[in-house]
Structure formats: structure tokens, C-alpha cells
Structure 1
Amino acid sequence: MKTRNIIVAMVLPFMLISCVSSKKYKTLQSQYTDSESRAKSLESSLSTCNSDKATLTSQKASLENENGLLNKRIEDLQSQNAFLKENSTQALSQLESMSVISKQQSESIKQSMENIGAKDAYIQTLQQQMAYKDSLNMALVMNLKGAIGNMDDKDINIKVDKGVVYIDISDKLLFKSGSYTVTDKAKAVLGKVAMVLKNQPDIEFMVEGHTDNVPYHRDVLLDNWDLSVKRATSVVRILQKDYGMTPAKISAAGRSEYRPLVDNNTKEGRALNRRTRIIILPELDQFFKLLEPAAKK
């Protein structure tokens, strides 16, 4: 029994030492593992910091470059501002000089502006009266075309040109070749024209005779002048005697070959140039009477 106790007493310390050393080992091993884990974490943080540092360094360089450009822009703007201030001072000085002139002339300028306003109003009235006159001319043209009916455009043409109504009748319709006697067919056409014109008692008109450039001489007619006048007066007599047109409102004229519509070098061209033209004369007296009220304002 003693021997057993002695052996237990001897072995127990060794067993206790062995237990304590194993615990400490495990603790140290755990601490080492934690340290290793923290080291790895720190290494990762260091890498991230280095990357952030590189990014910040690049951004810093970019900002420094932008700052340099902005400083240059500021210098340029300051230079421009100084230039504008200098010019503004000169401009103000000039305006001050001009203001003296404008004060001296203000009444004259005011009067001029009033005159311009009055002229603008007069021009507007004139334009209105011109438009009114044009509308009357167009109505007259439409009445003439309606009265004459479906005539060949080669024989008769009615138009408005520059505010004047023209009625062109070919000599093929009005006269036989080399004659100044109006044909029966033409008399019917002249009767329709007279019917419209008689409804406008205040208008005046002129009958013009036109020829081609082929020389003409027969009986009492010496040349194309004589022929053109004779044809115009023949038409005037028909309008007066047959259709009761007031002779005081009619004029007759001969233009000979000197107002051609086209070149006389072709047969067709010469046929177009041989014509009688009735011109509705502008009623200038009545037109200016319309403007008198506006002119007095």
C-alpha cells in the first residue's frame, strides 16, 4: 500500500505538468492563429490603402492641372475685364458728348418722327387705294371676258398690266389685209366691249392702231403710220356711232410699227404685232381725290 502511494505521489506531478503544458500550447496556438488572421487583414488593408493612395495621387495631379487652367482662365478674364472697363469709360465719354447733341436736337428729332408717322399713314392709305383700284380693274376684266365669251386667245386678249386694263384685238379679226374697214364679225365683238364700258360712264379709254414693219403704201395712205391711225379711228367711229359711246371719253392713236409685241422677223410674229389695242385710261383725277382726305391729315 505504501509503495502504491509512493508511486502515485511520484507520477501525479508529472501528469499535472503534462496537462498544463497542453493547455498552454492550445492557447498559444489559438493566439498565433488570431495573429496570423489579423496580419492578413492588415496586409489587405495596406494594399487597399496603397491603391487609394495611388488614386488620390492621380486625382491630385489632375486637380492641380485643372487648377492651373482655371488660374490661366482667371488671368484672361481679368485682362478682358480691364479692357472692357477701359472701352466702357471711352464709350461713356462719347455718350456724354452725344447726349449734349441729342438734347439740342430732341425737338427736331421728335418732329421728324411725327412726320415719319404721318407719311407712314399716308403710304398705307395710298396702298389701300391702289388695292381698291386694282380690284376695280380686275372686276372690269372679268366683266369684259364674261361679255365677250369664248373667243380665241389669238384673236382677243384682255389683261391688267401695271394697273392698266388692256384689250388687244388682232387685225385678222378686225380688218381684211391692207384694209381699215371693220368686219361684221369684229363689230359684234366691239358691241360687247361697248356694252361693258358704257356701264362705267366715268372711265376714259384710248384706241391704238399697231402694224408690223412691212412697208405699206396704198391710195391716200402713205405708210404704216397712216394705216395704224386709220384703223384706230375706224374702231372709234364704230364705238361712237353704232354703240353710243361718248366721244369725249375716247381717244384715237396710231403707233405704226414701233411698239411690237414680238420680233417682226417671222410671219407669226408680224401677225401678232398687227393689232388694235383698247386701253382703259387710269382715272387719275378721281384717284387723287380719294387721296385728298388722307393728305390733309
Structure 2
Amino acid sequence: MRRTVLLLSLAAMTLTSCGSKKKIAELEAKNKEIQDLLNTATMKLNTCLAEKNSLTDQVDYLKKNNSDLHNTMATLSSKDAANVEKSLEMIKEKDLKITRLQDALTRKDSVTLALVTSIKRAVGINDPDIEVNVEKGVVYISIADKLLFKSGSYQVSDKAKEVLGKVAAIVKDKPNFECMVEGHTDNVPIKNPVLQDNWDLSVKRATSIVRILQEDFNIEPQRLVAAGRGEYIPLESNDTADGRARNRRTRIYVLPKIDQFYDMIEKEMKNQTK
């Protein structure tokens, strides 16, 4: 009997001990979790404190700058203040002039776009050897020389007059524009009793077209300009036959007179002041 009681007591003590260890383990785990949360909160608090100090420094800096500015303004004499105001007015005036000039240039670009559209419609020829385009704000018609001249010649072919007639109609429709004819050649040397070099050929081709525009289509000569560029502005390499063919061309520019362009800008600026 005594032995049985002793065994029961030992069993009770063992169970009690196991329960205590489990409870301790749970408490230790809970303690670790709370410690981790505390560490995280501490880190966030330190970050917030650092940000607060930085913002406080910035506010102090801005307050000092504001105070310095007020002090500077307070020490300005009436003459200095007037000079500052005058300078600000000059800056505003320059900004206004720049804005008006930009508006005038935008208007010129619109005129150029409209001109390209009207020229393409007027030419009405679907031919890869005739190109209507814009370069540096200037509208031009580029015609391959095989449509205008025989090789090495500056005599305009009869077939070319159909194209030149359409060009003349465009120029007539724009009485405030000038027409510049510009000849280009390849780099194949040419020399004969009439032509000294490609300079001569390019210029004579330009003057031949100018004469037709004047004599056959009654374009006022004061609106016409003849120019030659020789071989010196090629579109492609002269090493191939196709490249040389592309380089032999005549460009006809339809461009506003420079004084009219400035008049257009001046009118635009006047309109802005109304």
C-alpha cells in the first residue's frame, strides 16, 4: 500500500514538471515575439526622430533665408526698388517679344504647309522624278534632269514644258513669292567650247528654265532667280549610275520675299498688342 502511494506521488510530480516546462516554453516564445515588436517599434521611432530633425533643420534654414530676404528688401532704397521693378518689366517685355516671334514663325510654318499642299495638288503628276518637299522652311519642286534636258545639254526639251507650265501656274498664283531655279549636276567632268565645267552646266540649265518661265509663261523677271550649285551638293554617292542620276536635278524654290517675311512678323507682333 505504501509503495502504491509513493508511485502515485512520483507520477504527479512528473506531470506537474512537464506542464511547467511547456508553460515556460510558451512564455519564452511570447517574450521573444514581444521583444521583436519592441525592436521594430524602436527602429521606426528612431527613423521618425531623424526625419523630424531633418525637417526642423530645413524649416530653420527657410526661416533664416526668408528673414534675410526681408532684411535685404527692407534695406533697398527707393531707387534700388525702382531699378528692380524696371528690370522685371524689361524681362517681361523680352518674353512677350519672344512669344510674338514664335507665333509669327508658327504662322509662317502654317503658310509653308499650305503651300506644299497646294503645289502637290497643282503639279498633279505621279512621277518619282518629281518631288515636292520642304527644306529648312523653304518649299521646293525637285525635277530629275532626264525630264528636262538631254545628257550634257542645257537646252530644255519640249516634253519638259508641260511640267514647267504647272510650275509657272503655281508661281503666278503666288504673286508675293519669288521663284529661284537651282541647277545641280553629277561629278562627271564636262568641257567643250561652250561649257567650261559643271558649274557652267548647272548655271546654264537654271537660266534656260528661267527664260522659259519668263518668255513662255510670262512670269515677271524680277521674281526669278537663276543659280547653279554644280556637283557640290550631291544627294547620293556619284560612284553608281543611279546615284549620279539622282544628283542631276533641278530644284525650283517657291519662297516668300525676305522683306515680306519680316513684314509678316511685324504685323503679327502688332496684332498681339491690340
TM-score range, shorter chain: 0.7 to 0.9
- Which residue does 1:96 correspond to in 2? 67
Q: In structure 2, what is the Cα distance between the partners aligned to 1:140 and 1:87?
A: 58
Give the drift of 1:230: 0.6
Give the drift of 1:68: 6.6
Q: In structure 2, what is the Cα distance between the partners aligned to 1:93 and 1:63?
A: 45
Aligned partners of 2:178 and 2:255 also within 8 Å = yes
Which secondary structure state, in structure 1, belongs to the residue aligned with residue 229 of structure 2?
A: strand
Are residues 61 and 289 of structure 1, via their aligned partners in 2, closer, same or farther at CA, if it must alter by over 3 Å?
A: same
**2:100 is the alignment partner of 1:125:** yes
TM-superposition CA deviations, 1:83-131 (whole Å, max 9, x none): 6545644553344224334554765555454444444433333333223
Q: In structure 2, what is the Cα distance between the partners aligned to 1:149 and 1:73?
A: 76
Amino acid at match of 1:189: V
**2:168 is the alignment partner of 1:190:** no
Give the drift of 1:202: 1.1
Q: In structure 2, what is the Cα distance between the partners aligned to 1:237 and 1:289?
A: 30
TM-superposition CA deviations, 1:226-250 (whole Å, max 9, x none): 1111111000000000000010011
**2:123 is the alignment partner of 1:148:** yes
Aligned partners of 1:213 and 1:264 also within 8 Å = yes
Aligned partners of 2:171 and 2:179 also within 8 Å = no
Alignment of 1:60-79 (within 5 A): 66=37, 70=41, 74=45, 77-78=48-49
- Which residue does 1:287 correspond to in 2? 261
Amino acid at match of 1:93: K
**Length-normalised TM-score, structure 1:** 0.70
Identity of aligned residues (%): 45
Are residues 72 and 148 of structure 1, via their aligned partners in 2, closer, same or farther at CA, if it must alter by over 3 Å?
A: closer
Give the drift of 1:287: 2.3
- Which residue does 1:137 correspond to in 2? 112
Are residues 98 and 168 of structure 1, via their aligned partners in 2, closer, same or farther at CA, if it must alter by over 3 Å?
A: same
Q: In structure 1, what is the Cα distance between the partners aligned to 2:173 and 2:113?
A: 15
Are residues 292 and 101 of structure 1, via their aligned partners in 2, closer, same or farther at CA, if it must alter by over 3 Å?
A: farther
- Which residue does 2:153 correspond to in 1? 179
Amino acid at match of 2:247: N
**2:172 is the alignment partner of 1:201:** no
Q: In structure 2, what is the Cα distance between the partners aligned to 1:64 and 1:276?
A: 88
Q: In structure 2, what is the Cα distance between the partners aligned to 1:139 and 1:197?
A: 14
Amino acid at match of 1:224: N
Give the drift of 1:143: 2.5
Which secondary structure state, in structure 2, belongs to the residue aligned with residue 193 of structure 1?
A: helix
Q: In structure 2, what is the Cα distance between the partners aligned to 1:221 and 1:82?
A: 86
Are residues 294 and 130 of structure 1, via their aligned partners in 2, closer, same or farther at CA, if it must alter by over 3 Å?
A: closer
Aligned partners of 1:122 and 1:294 also within 8 Å = no
Q: In structure 1, what is the Cα distance between the partners aligned to 2:209 and 2:119?
A: 17
TM-superposition CA deviations, 1:263-294 (whole Å, max 9, x none): 11110000111111111234332222233256
Q: 1:264 aligns with which of 238, 241, 247?
A: 238
Give the drift of 1:220: 1.8
**2:199 is the alignment partner of 1:225:** yes
Amino acid at match of 1:275: R
Work out the number of aligned pairs and report it: 250
**2:214 is the alignment partner of 1:240:** yes
Q: Which runs of 5+ in 1 are unaligned?
A: 1-50
- Which residue does 1:216 correspond to in 2? 190
Q: In structure 1, what is the Cα distance between the partners aligned to 2:111 and 2:40?
A: 74
Q: In structure 2, what is the Cα distance between the partners aligned to 1:123 and 1:285?
A: 19
Which secondary structure state, in structure 1, belongs to the residue aligned with residue 250 of structure 2?
A: strand
Alignment of 1:31-46 (within 5 A): none
- Larger Rg belongs to: 1
- Bigger Cα displacement from structure 2, 59-68 vs 191-200: 59-68
Amino acid at match of 1:202: N
**Length-normalised TM-score, structure 2:** 0.75
Q: In structure 1, what is the Cα distance between the partners aligned to 2:107 and 2:268?
A: 15
Question: C-alpha root-mean-square deviation of aligned residues, in Å?
Answer: 3.4
TM-superposition CA deviations, 1:198-240 (whole Å, max 9, x none): 0111111211111100000012211111111111100000000
Amino acid at match of 2:71: V
Which secondary structure state, in structure 2, belongs to the residue aligned with residue 256 of structure 1?
A: coil
